[in-house]
């Protein structure tokens, strides 16, 4: 469970720092994957869903 908590902390930090998000997006634009797909990956909050 520790890695989940650490992952959430990282996502929370990025969502609270818009400059960091822009830098991350800029670095992704420099990759070969971006040249092929033209897509930027985004950080999202993982949520456990319970379907009844």
What would the pLDDT profile of 9-46 be if each residue is shown by its tens digit?
888 898 899 999 999 999 999 999 999 999 999 877 77
Quick check: 29 and 40 in contact, CB under 8 A?
A: yes
The reported pTM is 0.65
Q: Is the pLDDT of residue 1 over 70?
A: no
Q: What is the pLDDT of residue 43?
A: 79
Residue 11: how many CB atoms within 10 A of its CB? 15
Q: What is the pLDDT of residue 49?
A: 73
**Domain map (residue ranges) of the chain:** 1-52
Alpha helices in 1-52 (DSSP H): 2-15, 18-29, 32-37
């Amino acid at each position: 469970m520790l890695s989940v908590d650490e992952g959430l902390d990282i996502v929370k930090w990025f969502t609270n720092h818009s400059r960091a998000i822009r830098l991350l997006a800029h670095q992704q634009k420099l990759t070969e994957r971006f040249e092929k797909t033209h897509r930027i990956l985004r950080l999202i909050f993982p949520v456990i869903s319970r379907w009844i």
